[in-house]
Structure 1
Amino acid sequence: MAGRAGVVVVGSFNVDHVWRCAELPPPGATLAGDYASSAGGKGFNQAIAAARAGARTTFVCALGEDAGGRQARALAAADHLDLRAARSDAPTGTAGIFVDARGRNSIVIGAGANATLSPGFVAAQDDATAAAAVVLAQLESPVAAVAQALRGARAAGAIAILNPAPANAPTSPGLLALADILTPNESEFAALLARHADFRIDPAALAGSEDAGLHALARRLLPHGTVVLTLGASGLLVSHPPSATRGDARDCYRLAAEAADVVDTTGAGDACNGALAAALALHPQRAFREHAVFANRYAALSTERAGAAAAMPSLTCFRARHRGD
């Protein structure tokens, strides 16, 4: 991968409709809150994070011919993303997001154009994949398109990262086999274990579990690759195969969560994924732990601003916070 410092992100763009209220609304309740609209979608958030973290970034998606599509194109240009957007007759994707006073969120997604992204369109972007060091995909796009992105990464000699989000999205053993790195949160990890390892665990119990136990579960889930399990306020856990530790001295370790004045956690997982992809692409000679530390810090910093894509820190902002670390 010498000379290849780019990132390709294949995924979703949504227009986010965000309501902020004291508590998340329970069923049947009507609450007062403040409303704002902004750009989001896991794919777009991660692409913006990778770009602002310093990587040359291509974003592959599907957009409607509407105001949301025009917004996506304008924002991509502003952040110097190489936007590769399939044109769809469906409306641009949307999301309804509720955020409470503690920064917790609940989200409902209307896939719209995101559901029309085809494997053929993804394959047609092979010039970008051939120049990339890392390809990153999530599961807000059709599984066939995601699989094509990961296969393309493998064929090009790039690192294939799968962020298996959201937790209820379909997966298969074949899809997991295409990933070099898997980046679930607690809910996604528990869902994958139930689906592919015949093991059931309460997601809320994961953060308090012993590292050795989590490592063993990660090895069952992705024997050939690295798992980065994000644990919210409990940081993240890295699990490598013993024979492929990506320059690390240990095959399993946990990083504590970074301190942050939390305003909104909506895009924190996406910040972590985009920053990890950028770090791997820009500094392939470094040990994986250094990339994980960068991604962990970057994600924490993203929670100090409201919004999803808009909250992704610039590299200048990040360096100002962590100067001398």
Structure 2
Amino acid sequence: MVVVGSFNLDHVWSTSRFPVPGETRLGSFTCGPGGKGFNQAIASVRQGAPTHFIAAIGSDAIGDGAAALATTEGLQAHWQRCPTQATGTAAIVLDGQGQNLIVVGPGANAALSVEHVQAQAAVLRGARVLLTQHEVDPLATRCAHALARAAGVLVIHNPAPPVDATAQPALDGIDLITPNETEFAQLLRDHAGHDIAAAYLVQQEEPILHRLCRDLGVPTVIVTLGADGVFVSQANGYTRIAAEAVNVRDTTGAGDAFNGALAAALAGGQPLLDAVAQANRVAGLKVERHGAALAMPTRAEVRERFATA
């Protein structure tokens, strides 16, 4: 498994409710590793998949910490060091219901270069699965897709966070895409000419969702719908898998847990629907914990929590 993506140091403030503009609230503070790419890579490696991570960090103490943590986790990282850029950071505010507000300072992530990705061509060609997102330079992502596709590697793209169409990779270079309802609505606007609100999509009957998924032209579309489960659409049909019954404490990184676990399961040869079910369980256990990368569960923890084989 290979992840091309971001590393951020997450600064997290927790408070009973979100402040309104101009309001100051008291809360508590924690700090830890994150970034969509790193979260997904840690989720994958903790599910037992040999995982490579291609990313950019600054020549600073935060970057040194990222490199050390990757080694500790058994993640095979291929770092681009950027002496003129700070390592990426994120500010996260959590409310008492586990919902979050996030602002990201990309830093070195935006400088991940095509040249660095090309230098890892052998790693990409040797993979079974490539997983990407929207937190690094889109040219680097497109380069990774091209190298992987040429080698017959399964390309999974998590279109998060939402970005405008010019910063997205071409959909025809993707085998499997994993939007949530907001990202799905944007993809439909940008690539299929449908202007449909995310809240409206969640209410649609499954045949309508399936038809909309098919309009994207991607072989497999997996729409994550939070408490409404996961909708899987392929050319030969569709299915919905229910969300796990969990006690939500922190939704930060839930999508990353799902994507990393999904890619790990597919890289390990699991059938698609089995892989989705496993990813659902990993994401379910993640939201019962506070944090991002360090809150990703291991395969043994998921097996114990959900009594799976």
How far is the alpha carbon of 1:202 from its aligned partner? 1.6
Equivalent-residue separation in structure 2 for 1:125 and 1:20 (angstroms)? 39
Residue identity over aligned pairs, in percent, reads: 48
How far is the alpha carbon of 1:172 from its aligned partner? 6.8
For residue 82 of structure 1, what is the aligned residue in structure 2? 76
For residue 294 of structure 2, what is the aligned residue in structure 1? 310
Q: Give 3-state SS (helix, strand or coil) of 2:32's partner.
A: strand
Is it true that 1:39 corresponds to 2:33 in the alignment? Answer: yes
- What are structure 2's unaligned runs of at least 5 residues? none
Equivalent-residue separation in structure 2 for 1:187 and 1:171 (angstroms)? 18
Identify the range of structure 1 (209-218 vs 315-324) with the bigger mean alpha-carbon deviation: 315-324
Tell me the TM-score normalized by structure 1. 0.92
Describe how 1:177-256 pairs up with structure 2 within 5 A: 177-221=172-216, 223-242=217-236, 251-256=237-242
Is it true that 1:280 corresponds to 2:274 in the alignment? Answer: no
AA paired with 2:240?
R
For residue 152 of structure 1, what is the aligned residue in structure 2? 147
Describe how 1:249-268 pairs up with structure 2 within 5 A: 251-268=237-254
Is it true that 1:292 corresponds to 2:243 in the alignment? Answer: no
- Pick from 124, 128, 132 the counterpart of residue 133 of structure 1: 128
AA paired with 1:308?
A
1:70-116 Cα deviation digits (max 9, x unpaired): 11111101110111010112000000001111110010000000000
Q: Give 3-state SS (helix, strand or coil) of 1:132's partner.
A: coil
What is the number of equivalent residue pairs in this alignment? 308
Equivalent-residue separation in structure 1 for 2:174 and 2:257 (angstroms)? 19
User: Are the equivalent residues in 1 in contact too, given 2:188–2:194 (CA < 8 A)?
Assistant: yes
For residue 65 of structure 1, what is the aligned residue in structure 2? 59
User: Are the equivalent residues in 2 in contact too, given 1:230–1:236 (CA < 8 A)?
Assistant: yes
AA paired with 1:314?
T
For residue 161 of structure 1, what is the aligned residue in structure 2? 156
Describe how 1:97-108 pairs up with structure 2 within 5 A: 97-108=92-103
User: Are the equivalent residues in 1 in contact too, given 2:220–2:235 (CA < 8 A)?
Assistant: yes
- What are structure 1's unaligned runs of at least 5 residues? 1-6, 243-250
Is it true that 1:11 corresponds to 2:11 in the alignment? Answer: no
1:182-238 Cα deviation digits (max 9, x unpaired): 0001111111111111111221222221111111111111x2410010001111100
AA paired with 1:155?
A
How far is the alpha carbon of 1:292 from its aligned partner? 0.7
AA paired with 1:267?
G
Equivalent-residue separation in structure 1 for 2:166 and 2:99 (angstroms)? 26
Q: Over aligned residue pairs, what C-alpha RMSD do you find?
A: 1.3
Equivalent-residue separation in structure 2 for 1:19 and 1:174 (angstroms)? 33
Change beyond 3 A, Cα 1:170–1:109: farther
